[in-house]
Amino acid sequence: MTDACAPMQPTRPGERDQSLDFVRGIALLGIGVVNGAFFFTPFMHAVHPPVAEWDSWLTRATWFVNCALFQGKFIALFSLLFGLGLAMQLDRASATGTKRWRFAMRRLLVLAGFGLAHAMLIWYGDILFAYSLTAWIVVFTSRLPDRWVGRLAVLALCVMPTCLGTAVAVQAVFPEVMAAFQPPVAGASEEPAVEGSAEASAEAEVVPAPRGWDAMVAAMGDPNNPAWIEAETVAMQAGPPVDRQLFRSVHWAYALLLWPMWGFHSAGMMLVGAWLWRKRAMAFGPAAAAVLRRLRTIGLLVGLPCSLIGTALLLGDPMAEEQLGALGSLLFIAGMSTLPLAYFPILLGMGRALRGWFVQHVAAIGRMCLTAYIGTSLLAAFIAEGWGLGYFGRLSYTAITLIPVAIWVFWLFACQPWLARHPFGPLEWLWRRLEYGGNGTE
C-alpha cells in the first residue's frame, strides 16, 4: 500500500512541533485567568464586573491587567491555533486520500461530544461545542486561494467592531431608540411611598426568596436581576444539585445564543490560523519570518494601544452608557482582534529560543490541552460549588484570578511526568480512540 492510500493516522508525539505546543500551553493559562470570574461569580457579575464599586487598588489593577491583556485575547489565540491545526490535518487527510469533509465530520462530532459533556456536567462556559460548529468555516474554505482566506478572515474580524460601531452611532443620533431597549432599574417602583409601610412590612410574613426555576421566572429571564443572582449564588454554594444543573444549562443556552456574534470573531481567528498554515509561517526562513513580523507589528502598534486605552475608558464602569464608555468598548474589541496577532509570533519565538525545564513542561500542557482544559474546569468547580468546597461568590476578584493560575501550575508539574509514561493525555487518548479507532491509540 502506498502512502497516498494509507489510512489517516493521528500525529505521533515525535512529529509534534514543540514550539506550537508551548504556545498552546501559554494560551490555556490566559484562558484560565479570564475564566476565573465565570467559575466563581454569578454569570452577569462575570460579564460585567462591578468595577465602579471596588475600592481596593489591587482589585482594580488586577481587573485592568486581566481586561487589557487577557480577556478575549487568549481565546482568540487558541482559535488561531485551532484553525492552524485543523488546516494542517485537512492537508494530511487529503495526502492520504481521505475526503476532507469526512475527516472533519468525524473529528468535529467527537469534539462536539466532549463539549456537550463539559458544558452539561462541569461548567457552562465550554468553547469546544461552539468550536465544533465554527470550525466548518476552515473546512469550507480549505480549497480557496490563500488571498481569499486572508480576506475572509479580515471580514469576519470586522463584524463585531462594525456592529458595535453602528450601535454607538445609533445611540448618539437616536438616543430614544436605544433607551427603549434598556430594562427597567431593578427595584424601581412608580408607586408612592405609603406612610407606615415600614411597620407593615415588619409585621408581614417573611416570604422566602425564590429559588431555581421560580427565581428565573421572577427575574423574567434576566440573569442580571437580583433575584436571579441571589438564587444562582445559593444554588452554586449549597445546591440542590438540580438547581445547579438548571443554572448551568440555561447559562450555556444563553452563551450559545450570543455565539453568532462572537462566532464571527472566532471564525476570523481560525481563518488567520489556516492562512498562516498555507503561508508556512511556522517554517524557518525569510518568507515565514516576514509574515510573523507583519503580524507582530500589527498587534503591537494597533492592538496594544487599543486594548490599553479601551480598558482605561471602561475602568470607571464597564456598563457605562456615555460616549466614552462606548468608545472604550469599541477600542477593546478592536484590540481583541489584533493584539493576539502579536501574541502568536512572540510566544512562538519564545518556544523556539528558550530551552530547558520550563519550555518542556509548558509544551507538555499543550500536548495535553484537552485534558488540561476540562480538568481545569473540574478543579475550579470543586473549589467553587457546593459538592466541593463551596467558595462560589465568596472570594475577591484578585483571588478568583489567581486560582486558575495555581491550577495551571499544577498542570505544569503534572503533564510532563504523565507523558513520560504515556504517549497521550487521558482525554487525548479517548479522543483518538473515538476518532480513529485502534489506529489512534497504537
Average pLDDT, the chain: 85
Q: Identify the weakest region by mean pLDDT among 43-57, 159-173, 198-212, 251-265.
A: 198-212
Measure CA 97 to chain center. 34
Confirm if 332 and 67 have CB atoms less than 8 A apart. Answer: yes
Question: With bands split at pLDDT 50, 70 and 90, how would you rate the model's confidence at 4?
Answer: very low
Selected residue with higher pLDDT from 305 and 200: 305
**C-alpha dist (Å) from residue 431 to 59, 170, 234, 332:** 39, 47, 35, 36
pLDDT tens digits for 242-255?
999 999 999 999 88
Cis peptide bond prior to 240, omega within 30° of 0: yes
pLDDT by residue (tens digit) across 326-363?
A: 788 889 989 998 999 999 999 999 999 988 899 999 99
**Non-local CB neighbours of 255 within 8 Å, separated by 6+ positions:** 124, 125, 130
E strands along 236-369, which residues? Answer: none
- Per-residue confidence at 402, pLDDT binned at 50, 70, 90? very high
Question: How far is CA 168 from its chain centroid?
Answer: 25
User: Could you tell me the pTM of the whole model?
Assistant: 0.87
pLDDT band at 269 (very low <50, low <70, confident <90, very high): very high
Torsions phi, psi for 74 (to 5 deg)? -80, -30
